[in-house]
Amino acid sequence: MRERIDLVANNLVQIELVKGNRLLPMLHVKCSVMEELSTPWKDALVVKLLSKSLGFNIMKTKLETIWALTGGIDLMDVGNSFYMVKFDGEEDKAKVINGGPWMIYDHYLAVCQWSPTFNAATAMPSLIKLWFGSVYRV
């Protein structure tokens, strides 16, 4: 459990009103805060089912089934049909990255490493491993 900190009072965040409109606040967050907040997710993967959207519970059940992991996962819906996946074990993460291609309901699952600059609102799956016979094409 983390200690609660008033980011504004500690000058870790500055609030700017867009065009002076108090209904349009813009937050400027110090890099150190963003680094600390992203630390728990540094080893996470981002997944997206292409051409199909699934709800949280179905997605989690399907991922656990197709991946057949030895440990558990934490799943977080980050919007725009993207999910972040955090693994209990590094071997499970390696299995997901190196295995595949992964499919759910005959749709490919795009899998990539999470980065702090990831933005679900603007992200597009750009590198997808597709299996054609015995050759991977990226």
Which domains occur in the chain, in start order? 1-40 (no CATH), 42-137 (3.30.70.330)
> Average pLDDT in the 25-39 region?
87
- CB atoms near residue 44 (< 10 Å): 22
Q: pLDDT by residue (tens digit) across 47-97?
A: 999 989 999 999 999 999 999 999 999 999 999 999 999 999 999 999 999
H or E stretch at 53: none
Would you give the DSSP letter of residue 21?
Answer: -
Angstrom distance (rounded) from CA 138 to CA 129: 5
CA angle 10, 16, 20 (to 5 degrees): 145
pLDDT value for 132:
39
Question: Across the chain, what does the average pLDDT equal?
Answer: 86
Q: CA torsion 64→65→66→70, rounded to 10°?
A: 60
Q: What's phi and psi for 51, nearest 5 deg?
A: 65, 15
